[in-house]
Structure 1
Amino acid sequence: MFIFDSKKFPDSPGIYLFYNDKRELIYVGKATSLKDRVASYFRNPLPTSPLKMGRRPIELLINEVSDVKIIQTESVLEAIILEANTIKKFQPKYNVDLKDDKSWNYIVMTKENYPQVKTVRQHEIENSKFDPRFNRGRNLKFKFGPYPGLKTREMMKLLQRLFFISHCKPCQPGKPCRPCLYYAMEQCLGVCTGEITSQEYKKKVIRPLVMFLRGNKKGVIRQLGKQMKEESKKENFEEAGRLRNQISALQRIQDIALLNKSFTSQQKFEIRNSKFEFSRIEGYDISNLGEAGKVGSMVVFENSESNKSQYRKFKIKNVLGQSDVGCLHEVLERRLKHSEWRMPNVILVDGGVPQVNRTVETIRVNKFKIPVVGIAKGPKRKKNEFILGSKEKEFVKWVNKNQELLVRVRDEAHRFAISYQRKLRKIKH
């Protein structure tokens, strides 16, 4: 039986492979922390009785393991993809025995001019009543998986952002074209507006996505890099910039939503057991209603509690127009000049990628090193989306364990900004 040694396993994402004494691969699993996940199998010794009657598959598995190998990945998303590809290739017996078809999904791509990318279950592919386009799988160009069902939706959201997957209807010649919501968010390349042909869509979206789902992220980045240089030579700098940002996103995949439940189900606001100190959080929001001018708020939470004596409000002085990002930049510039105020351990902003990127840049220019997290609303404004300005492992873990606290900070910053805005409006009238 295998004897676990924690020193041989890193605290990082990846997959683990269990082998029996015949050197046969019998099980593959994924982990956000290889050390913690593999250790969980071997903490409590199982009975070594040869009798298999009444024994659970997991008990049979553990007693059969004689060696464990690991493959580290740069993100949880890549671990999920690598696990699925490895299971599909080797068909380890315990993965087959333990798999529940109802909880596993596939990512499929249709053969249409603008291929649809969807998550489906196997029985839905085989049942043409579910979606006639599938035609029992005959109308599918690619099928990847299976993936754990609870994670597939989050995977699709992340893949959509990374690869600009379109979910809108293609623009029809002779008919008015309406841009979709994702087009306005710069996450759709223009399928809905007729700005991209089907061949361009396959080249820019489908091919890189297929390569990524096959586990070749390095190849994707290399291919995108070549395309970026080509666009720069053509002086198509907007497309070159998009490709540059896509490469950067792939190199720094932030997949908080895919982390194991052990990271997200804890309700405590954990600060201990970390080499980083996150006791002081400053939250920022901009209220930009136009009539009474633009204002910004700064709220302070120390040891998970608000400290209202240190709240600050800012009237925007130098930003023309309705730029929330510009207003946030001004607020941060003014705040960072107050060296007499205690500096935060974390800065939280109400907003998405543009706000986080501008905040990170402002902090860097002012020669500070403060991790940043932003909270944006999803497309239907029902679910919070966390955007990190740092990929430092301890910071990522801390954010996942303290999401409720961060939402409280965001809500308080929003409330404080709105109350200041209303106060100014009353004074004006």
Structure 2
Amino acid sequence: MAIQKLPKEAPNTPGVYIFRRGKIAIYVGKAENLKKRLASYFRKNAGAKIESLREEATRIEWVELSSDIEALIKESELIKKYRPKYNVLMRDDKNYFYVGITRGEFPKIFITHQPAKFQIPNSKFQIKSKFKIQNKDVRLKAHKLTTEFIGPFTSGSALYQTLRILRRIFPYCTCKELHRRPCLNAEIGRCLGCCCLQDGAQDKMCALRYQEHIKNIRAVLQGRKKTLLGELKRAMRNVAKKEEFERAAELQKQIEGIENIFLHRAFLDPALAKKRRDHDWRKIERTIQTLFGTLRRIRRAEGYDVSNISGVEATGSMIVFVDGAPSKNNYRKFKIKTVHQISDVDMHREVIMRRFNHPEWGIPDLLLIDGGKPQLNAALQALQMRKVKGVLLAGLAKREEELFLPARRDPIRLDSLPPHTMHFFKHVRDESHRFAKKYHHKLREISYREKSKN
């Protein structure tokens, strides 16, 4: 019997849904909001194909999921599994999206519609095919490569966003040519650095890590989240036993990144994302108020870092978060002018003093300085010299993962703080580091070009 109306119990959550005729799946879709999406199938004048689908289906099933990314991957998994009739009728195969992963020591990743004409087997959508890649975004050498395709995915924008997030967790190369020096992406942590170097293949350890990153990205896109998390947690325990703490911290960051991916809903429902962010910020704000022993509201937080190589082309950054979210229009960069030796402490002092030459930028509630006690004291001196009062100040030591406060003798370990607050501090620190490095790299490039001309 055809379905006449939307089931009342359909939830207002992300997920995937299946129209079935008896036991046979005839259509699979994903939704930001299952109830709203399913309701659209029961509107008048929905279209001939939707009316045909509704008349043929005898029941609707759905799976509630935590995020749009999880829904995107689950939808792809179910389309591969069932090859539903109406997914073919309602969407030309050329409108599906695939993630291509090339072979080789440093594989490339790209998004494409079907780049070669091939029939998709009923049992398996993941295809290995030899062809010349013509995709303008890849521009690989014109020889035949074996490329693996993962898909189909129905949303190119959601897939692109997913890969952007995955790249922050598992950096991979997007460079179109080889370089003699590490690229900008390597400087900001989006690339391992060896993958696009002319002699990068000589770094065997880096090549192994790169392959591991590609394997992990493949696992996420294929929906093997639980398996991957289990592998990473076991690896983290093993390296921790060997006292390889830096590697253990890197693995912990990857685990947290994957877990956060499947909670990521920002591009599904902006209103819901803002409501959730505001709620999270209130919790973070209360923790910060407790740390500093204050009841004042904390709306604007600024993060500072400096970047240089042997004191050359030294730069400083100021990044701004308002109510816990980056406010990139308020970011500022500084070219260090008064410090000519290698001294992060003096550079921080200069940046803070120059920042407070600009009251029109607004007065922050909280300053977070990259560094320990020396950098914190330098910032405190700068505030005193500029006669700035009432601004909370803290130092974030990256190597030890510690938080320094002016009124406390001993630092606070970041992992002892509530998770939301710990992640916020790390986010500010990492973003200020990225922004300073980016400007430093730009100045180096300008200097290099000028020297080349001469």
TM-score, normalised by the number of residues in structure 1: 0.60
Question: Once the 2 structures are TM-superposed, how far is the Cα of residue 147 of structure 1 from its aligned partner?
Answer: 3.7
> Structure 1 pair 364/143, CA: closer, same or farther in 2 (3 Å)?
closer
Q: Secondary structure at the match of 1:249?
A: helix
Q: In 2, Cα distance between the equivalents of 1:66 and 1:326?
A: 70
**Residue 284, structure 1, aligned to residue 291, structure 2:** no
> Structure 1 pair 152/125, CA: closer, same or farther in 2 (3 Å)?
farther
Q: Secondary structure at the match of 1:122?
A: coil
Per-residue CA deviation, residues 317-339 of structure 1 (Å, 9 max, x unaligned), is 99644999999xxx9x96499xx
> Structure 1 pair 134/123, CA: closer, same or farther in 2 (3 Å)?
farther
> Which one of the candidate residues 200, 204, 213 is aligned to 1:205?
213
- Which residue pairs with 2:162 in the alignment? 155
AA matched with 1:17: I
**Residue 145, structure 1, aligned to residue 149, structure 2:** no
> Structure 1 pair 114/283, CA: closer, same or farther in 2 (3 Å)?
same
Question: Once the 2 structures are TM-superposed, how far is the Cα of residue 313 of structure 1 from its aligned partner?
Answer: 8.4
AA matched with 1:62: R
Q: In 1, Cα distance between the equivalents of 2:23 and 2:301?
A: 56
On the 8 A contact 1:158/1:255 being kept in 2, the answer is no
AA matched with 1:161: R
Q: Secondary structure at the match of 1:294?
A: helix
- Which residue pairs with 1:109 in the alignment? 101
> Which one of the candidate residues 219, 226, 244 is aligned to 1:218?
226
Matches within 5 A, 1:398-409: none
Q: In 1, Cα distance between the equivalents of 2:161 and 2:181?
A: 27
Matches within 5 A, 1:154-193: 154-168=161-175, 177-192=180-195
Per-residue CA deviation, residues 66-121 of structure 1 (Å, 9 max, x unaligned), is 21112233322121111112112211111111114454321011111211111112
AA matched with 1:139: T
Question: Once the 2 structures are TM-superposed, how far is the Cα of residue 246 of structure 1 from its aligned partner?
Answer: 0.5
On the 8 A contact 2:298/2:365 being kept in 1, the answer is no
- Which residue pairs with 1:86 in the alignment? 78
Q: In 1, Cα distance between the equivalents of 2:112 and 2:28?
A: 22
> Structure 1 pair 371/152, CA: closer, same or farther in 2 (3 Å)?
closer
On the 8 A contact 1:166/1:188 being kept in 2, the answer is yes
Q: In 1, Cα distance between the equivalents of 2:192 and 2:375?
A: 27
Matches within 5 A, 1:5-24: 5-6=7-8, 8-20=9-21, 22-24=22-24
Question: Once the 2 structures are TM-superposed, how far is the Cα of residue 191 of structure 1 from its aligned partner?
Answer: 2.7
Question: Once the 2 structures are TM-superposed, how far is the Cα of residue 234 of structure 1 from its aligned partner?
Answer: 3.0
> Structure 1 pair 326/73, CA: closer, same or farther in 2 (3 Å)?
farther
Q: In 2, Cα distance between the equivalents of 1:114 and 1:154?
A: 22
- Which residue pairs with 1:128 in the alignment? 132
AA matched with 1:226: R
On the 8 A contact 2:16/2:28 being kept in 1, the answer is yes
- Which residue pairs with 1:98 in the alignment? 90
Question: Once the 2 structures are TM-superposed, how far is the Cα of residue 203 of structure 1 from its aligned partner?
Answer: 4.7
Q: Secondary structure at the match of 1:165?
A: coil
- Which residue pairs with 1:235 in the alignment? 243
Per-residue CA deviation, residues 253-295 of structure 1 (Å, 9 max, x unaligned), is 26757734xx34x8x9987xx99998x8812225755474516
On the 8 A contact 1:169/1:191 being kept in 2, the answer is no
> Structure 1 pair 113/218, CA: closer, same or farther in 2 (3 Å)?
same
Between stretches 310-319 and 282-291, larger displacement belongs to 310-319
Per-residue CA deviation, residues 302-350 of structure 1 (Å, 9 max, x unaligned), is xxxxxx8x976879899644999999xxx9x96499xxxxxxxxxxxxx
**Residue 76, structure 1, aligned to residue 83, structure 2:** no
Percent pairwise identity: 25
> Structure 1 pair 3/37, CA: closer, same or farther in 2 (3 Å)?
same
- Which residue pairs with 2:440 in the alignment? none
**Residue 37, structure 1, aligned to residue 41, structure 2:** no
Q: Which runs of 5+ in 1 are unaligned?
A: 48-54, 298-307, 338-352, 382-429
On the 8 A contact 2:132/2:143 being kept in 1, the answer is yes
- Which residue pairs with 1:384 in the alignment? none
Matches within 5 A, 1:250-289: 250-253=258-261, 259-260=267-268, 263-264=269-270, 282-286=299-303, 289=334
Q: In 2, Cα distance between the equivalents of 1:245 and 1:16?
A: 33
On the 8 A contact 2:69/2:264 being kept in 1, the answer is no
RMSD, matched Cα: 5.3
- Which residue pairs with 1:25 in the alignment? 25
> Structure 1 pair 134/70, CA: closer, same or farther in 2 (3 Å)?
farther
On the 8 A contact 2:75/2:153 being kept in 1, the answer is no
Question: Once the 2 structures are TM-superposed, how far is the Cα of residue 139 of structure 1 from its aligned partner?
Answer: 1.6
AA matched with 1:119: I
Question: Once the 2 structures are TM-superposed, how far is the Cα of residue 10 of structure 1 from its aligned partner?
Answer: 3.3
> Structure 1 pair 94/323, CA: closer, same or farther in 2 (3 Å)?
farther
On the 8 A contact 1:161/1:187 being kept in 2, the answer is yes
Q: In 1, Cα distance between the equivalents of 2:247 and 2:210?
A: 16
Per-residue CA deviation, residues 350-381 of structure 1 (Å, 9 max, x unaligned), is xxx99xx989x98985999899697969x999
**Residue 249, structure 1, aligned to residue 257, structure 2:** yes
Provide the aligned length of Structure 1 versus Structure 2: 332
TM-score, normalised by the number of residues in structure 2: 0.57
Per-residue CA deviation, residues 223-271 of structure 1 (Å, 9 max, x unaligned), is 11122122223332211111111011111226757734xx34x8x9987
On the 8 A contact 2:19/2:26 being kept in 1, the answer is yes
